[in-house]
Structure 1
């Protein structure tokens, strides 16, 4: 097991490893990027990265947590793509117990048994809407990176389509085909992803809403609650 700790914004370059990685953020926000998309890891969630999947990570706010590297044989029941899980009533005390394990030591038999209980629970756990899928088409990918860099962007569909040399109809159709979301839904989720990053760094809710171009703070809070089930103030506690 390895401890996760960071005192502020930090970034890890893309890398991969032969083992699967199971990790838990107890404080702060972790964002994991792969070729397939971006996964958001607020506190009290579990993250999973399969073996040999190239990924990078960004940390926002003061980070505390842990990471376990699992032999590929143990990983077989788990998904072959990165996932974020809600911790249920049984997983929460197991996570708390794992957080007490000393770092850098191999797992003895009792700890391995506890880990297998956690893995069983993970397979039945809910996966919240914390995934921002990325398109494969290079023009759409370029547009997506542009919007991620400026989530407050309010350009019309016509302007965005013209910028990448597509018709509005083609942009609308291809974006949904490749991400499973409409462009409007994707832009909303990209804004909320950036909101989580700002909030984790201590930016007030009002300032976050204004920075991201929302018409009002109440509109931002309403949308946030619709996606995540809680207000921004409660979500990251």
Structure 2
């Protein structure tokens, strides 16, 4: 993996088309990335973070990452010399933080004093914001990598771990142990997270909620709505930009 050092000198607004990608890079400063609309996938060495419009991701200085848009996306980015957090983290963006992000990125001619005060407000909000479990961890064991690739290609795949294990050449008990050791999730937890990540992509592309539930392998639309609400804080029917 080749990582480019990109120089950021201030807030940016970057429109991205559906599936447009920003390849692997890092920064010498801390970065907050917030999609004002659309959905961002943020890849780091830990795995894939999914960032919908009511969320933001904190990326510490020096952490290699890549972005991919799902649906037309407007990516807002702020930079900070001081650290709000020590690890990549997806955070809830409340009304005050959203307005601070919007003001800092919309108004490049703010006085240095005004900008400094707004950045301090943003840091205060970030340190208090709720962190969310929106990471889909990436395994390293080749058998687990292959299994995860199979499920990513078809999130609605209902086969149990035992049957999937036969395809990748590993016993169910071995794979179950590896999932916990390498991702921190059980296999059912990891698969549920994958399905919800995939659901965001389909919703961003304009698919109806009932179709998304089927395509992501949920047993019913109501089960999908409840799982989505618990993770993202909003029902899929009220998902931003629908």
TM-score, length-scaled by structure 1: 0.88
**What is the CA distance between 1:89 and its match in structure 2?**
4.6
- For residues 8 and 135 of structure 1, the distance between their equivalents in structure 2, rounded to whole angstroms, comes to 27
Shift of 1:162: 2.1
Residue of structure 1 equivalent to 2:66: 56
- Distance in 2 between the 1:216 and 1:235 partners? 18
- The answer to whether the 8 Å contact 1:3/1:67 transfers is yes
Counting only pairs closer than 5 Å after superposition, residues 175-190 of structure 1 correspond to structure 2 as 175-190=179-194
Distance, in Å, in 1 between the alignment partners of 2:111 and 2:66 is 26
- Paired position in structure 1 for 2:136: 132
1:95 to 89, 94, 101: 101
Distance 1:15 1:62, change over 3 A: same
For 2:117, the equivalent position in structure 1 comes to: 113
SS in 1 for 2:238: helix
Alignment of 1:1-237 (within 5 A): 1-71=11-81, 74-75=82-83, 78-102=84-108, 108-237=112-241
Which stretch of structure 1 is more off in the superposition, 224-233 or 124-133?
224-233
CA contact (8 A) 1:22 1:46 kept: yes
Q: Do the aligned residues in 2 keep the contact of 1:87 with 1:125 (CA within 8 Å)?
A: yes
Q: Which has the higher contact order (CA 8 A, sep 6+)?
A: 1
Q: Deviations over 1:40-61 (max 9, x none)?
A: 1100222111112111111011
CA displacement at 1:158 relative to structure 2: 0.8
Report how far residue 139 of structure 1 moved: 2.2
1:192-224 superposed Cα distances (whole Å, 9 cap, x missing partner): 100001101211112212222333322322322
Per the alignment, residue 4 of structure 2 pairs with: none
Contact 2:17 2:69 survives alignment (8 Å): no
Deviations 1:117-167 (A, max 9, x none): 211221121012311112232322232233222211212211222223222
Deviations 1:171-208 (A, max 9, x none): 11221122111111110110010000110121111221
Measured in 1, the distance between the counterparts of 2:204 and 2:161 equals: 31
Q: What is the CA RMSD across the aligned residues, in angstroms?
A: 2.1
1:178 to 1:7, Cα distance in 2 relative to 1, 3 A? closer
Unaligned stretches of 5+ in structure 2? 1-10
How far 1:112 moved relative to its partner? 1.8
